[in-house]
Amino acid sequence: MTHPRLQAVRPLPRRFFERDAVKVARALLGKLLLRRERGRVLAGRIVETEAYLGVNDAAAHAASGRTARNAVLFGPAGHAYVYFIYGNHYCLNVSCMLEGEAGCVLIRALEPLSGLRQMARARGVPVAECTALEARPLRSRRNAVRKLTSGPGRLCQALGVTRARFNGCDLTSAASPLHLADDGFCPRGIAATPRIGIRKAAAEPLRFVIAGSPFLSGRPGTRET
């Protein structure tokens, strides 16, 4: 019996992303997002994604064609599309499908695995709350950890992902300061729900979660796992 986290960690290859957005969104559940920063590695496991289908998806940024902002989506798969929203937050997507199509997957939540202290500092969460030793009640620790990366804006803040630094970054290379990888973990159950926070095409079940994960966005119990 090998613990999954001790298996080899391999970057996801370009072809992983050269598929339609729904397949990629489902396949990304359980994969790792890794951020190298000043010799440290911050890591989280993806527990929540959304698929955006490209020019035919009214809710997608690509819906009205190529612009300066969304140009990455029309390029090769496996690259970061980072945008700024609501005057406050960044959101991280991975481009997918073939070049010229504009599908992508929004990464909405992670289970933090390593670098929790650094994430807490970046998020303005008291570091002690997130560490096992100091925080006695397990529940309060888990509530603090959940604040780190349970939402698209939160995870970008925790990992220091901004548009200026990471838009267009190749996420398939272990040499990148930000990349995606497989450690052999396989989620038990996957659920599909409508996407969050959109007006158009709001009913399509294009949000995917690892069923029952405590690290999903939104309040626990809401947004059916």
Partner DNA sequence: ATATCGATTATCT
Partner DNA sequence: GATAATCGATATG
DSSP class of residue 178? Answer: E
Sequence-ordered list of residues with C-beta below 8 angstroms from that of 106, at least 6 positions apart, any chain: 49, 50, 52, 91, 92, 93, 152
Residue 55 vs 181, nearer CB to DNA: 55
Residue 67 vs 140, nearer CB to DNA: 67
Q: State CA 80 to chain mean position distance.
A: 11
**Cβ 50 to DNA, closest distance in Å?**
6
Closest CA to 31 of 199, 180, 208: 180
**Cβ 54 to DNA, closest distance in Å?**
9
Chain residues binding DNA by CB under 7 A are 50, 52, 59-62, 64, 67-70, 81, 83-89, 91, 93, 104, 106, 123, 147, 151-155, 195-199, 217, 219, 221-222
Q: What angle do CA 95, 101, 104 make, to 5 degrees?
A: 25
Residue 183 vs 206, nearer CB to DNA: 206
Residue 9 vs 129, nearer CB to DNA: 129
